[in-house]
Amino acid sequence: METYDQLLSDAYSKIKPIDHNGERFEIPKIEGHLEGTKTVLINIPQIASYLRRDQDHIVKYLLKELATSGTMKNNLLVLQRKINSLKINEKIKDYVEEFVLCKECKKPDTELTKDKGFAFIHCLACGAKHPVRSKF
C-alpha cells in the first residue's frame, strides 16, 4: 500500500503546471491597415469571440466612440477615415472595462443579459449583476 506522501506526489505529477506569465486575461490588440483614407480592421471577429460578445455590439460601440462610420465586409471592419491603432486599442480597452469585466471581482467571466429592456453584466465567477448602458 502506498503512503500518503507517495499518493500526494503522484497526484501533483499529474497536474498541469500553471503559466504565470502575467494576467490570465489580456485585452486583444487590433490588427489592421490603411487603404487610402480608410482604416481596415481585420481581427474584429476574433476579438468578439475572445471577449465572448456579439461582434455587432463591439462594432457599434467602436463606430460611436471613434465618431466615424464604417461597415463590415467579409469579416473586415472598414472605417471611413484614418484612425491610429493606439486610439482604437484604447477604445477596445474602454469597451472591455464597461461591458466585459465584472465590477465586483474584475474577472472577464461575464455575459451580457437583458431583463425588462435593461442590459446587465452577469458575472459567472462571483454571481454579481450590474446594469450597463444599452444604447450608445
Q: How many domains is the chain built from?
A: 2
Q: Is 106 in a helix, a strand, or coil? A: coil
pLDDT, position 136:
62
Query: 76-90, 92-106, 112-126: lowest mean pLDDT where?
Result: 112-126
Domain around 125: 103-136
Residues 52 and 108 in one domain: no
User: Has residue 5 been placed in a domain?
Assistant: no
Residues 111 and 71 in one domain: no
User: Has residue 40 been placed in a domain?
Assistant: yes
User: Has residue 115 been placed in a domain?
Assistant: yes
Amino acid, single-letter form, for residue 74: N
Could you report the per-residue pLDDT of 38-73, keeping only the tens digit for each? 999 999 999 999 999 999 999 999 999 999 999 999
Residues 30 and 46 in one domain: yes
CATH of the domain at 44: 3.30.30.170
pLDDT, position 19:
47
pLDDT, position 17:
60
Q: Which stretches of the chain are assigned E, i.e. beta strand?
A: 32-35, 38-41, 70-73, 76-79, 110-115, 118-123, 129-132
Question: Average pLDDT over the chain, rounded to whole?
Answer: 89
Beta bridge partners, 34, equal 39
User: In this structure, are residues 48 and 72 in contact, taking their beta carbons and an 8 Å threshold?
Assistant: no
pTM, entire model? 0.78
User: Has residue 19 been placed in a domain?
Assistant: no
What is the spatial distance between Cα 69 and Cα 79, in angstroms, rounded to a whole number?
Answer: 6
User: Has residue 83 been placed in a domain?
Assistant: yes
User: Has residue 96 been placed in a domain?
Assistant: yes
Q: Considering the chain, what percentage of its residues have pLDDT values greater than 70? A: 93
pLDDT, position 135:
72
Could you report the per-residue pLDDT of 112-124, keeping only the tens digit for each? 998 888 999 999 8
What is the spatial distance between Cα 76 and Cα 74, in angstroms, rounded to a whole number?
Answer: 5
Q: How many CB atoms lie within 10 A of CB 29?
A: 13
Residues 117 and 52 in one domain: no
User: In this structure, are residues 101 and 132 in contact, taking their beta carbons and an 8 Å threshold?
Assistant: no
